[in-house]
Structure 1
């Protein structure tokens, strides 16, 4: 009888451990999308940037973690066409004035804490690293089956990207580029 109780307890502990094990869901970098929008006084530009890798971590079907690496060399403007300034803007975004992709080819996002807001919505605090500078950011992420979406607002000046920022340069007039840029993230896994 004593052996039966020991086996039963061991079995329950094993089952409990199995159900509480974290499950990593690898992000499909080919079908996932990141769209960006950068605004200036006289308008805005938009484009895409590719994920290099990413994973969302679930425990008991609840989001508990995640980390992502972005290929900064993939940054591309979509509101301009070839021959109409696209190459120039794409090149400038990759230059040292902005993301310096030759020296900093990737950016990283690592979830640090997650709180559940509603059935499918989580509040995330994460570390964002751009140009080897790391800052904490907060955003909401919505998870539905094998898809997750999030909208992030990033202050570029916190990562040393000060080009035409009115907070660092005077007399720019309508050449000001706003400090915040927006990311719309659509993850497939």
Structure 2
């Protein structure tokens, strides 16, 4: 009887349950940097589901980011329009051809996610830390844009860019809220 009880407790502690992501309460803020400064903006999820352990640890999941919702928050007017037109073009995200980016969570260590990020039909492994704060999962995913065929302005591919060089790493701060 004691073994049966221990087995039942062990099985229950390993069970997980699916949770839909609350699209209206979740937030995604990006930051790209260059030699002369930085640009920031926001993105929205199109859909998202994660599996949570009984202890609230993310065990797997899939988040679909709607790249059509990409905004810039540090520019306005004509400069914002020019920037968004360029960032959504083939030099960067090519949003007309690839309107979504997808993050698949493959494994969770309890504070670090191991996953696969797909942008522009290119899939690459990513790993990032997160924590649970005020009922939400928060953290920063940093990815190298050049691994997703976004080489425009990269010093790794073009020489003598001077102050026109754009850094390869893009940060995506997130606050993920589940229903």
Q: What TM-score results when the alignment is normalised by the length of structure 2?
A: 0.89
Give the unaligned 5+ runs of structure 1: 117-121
CA distance in 2, matches of 1:90, 1:128: 22
The residue aligned with 1:103 is: 97
Larger Cα-atom Rg: 1
Which one of 75, 81, 89 corresponds to residue 70 of structure 2? 75
Give the unaligned 5+ runs of structure 2: none
Question: Any conservation in 1 of the 2:21–2:49 contact (CA below 8 Å)?
Answer: yes
The residue aligned with 2:118 is: 129
CA distance in 1, matches of 2:36, 2:128: 27
The answer to whether residue 152 in structure 2 is matched with residue 163 in structure 1 is: yes
The residue aligned with 1:138 is: 127
Q: Cα deviations across residues 78-104 of structure 1 (Å, max 9, x unaligned)?
A: 001123x00010111110000000110
CA distance in 2, matches of 1:183, 1:99: 15
CA distance in 2, matches of 1:114, 1:173: 40
Aligned residues: 175
Q: Cα deviations across residues 142-188 of structure 1 (Å, max 9, x unaligned)?
A: 12463110111110000010001010011111100000111110111
CA RMSD of aligned residues (A): 2.0
CA distance in 2, matches of 1:53, 1:183: 17
CA drift of 1:115 comes to: 0.8
Matches within 5 A, 1:1-189: 20-61=14-55, 62-83=57-78, 85-116=79-110, 122-144=111-133, 146-189=135-178
Segments of 4+ moved more than 3 angstroms: 11-21
CA distance in 1, matches of 2:39, 2:94: 19
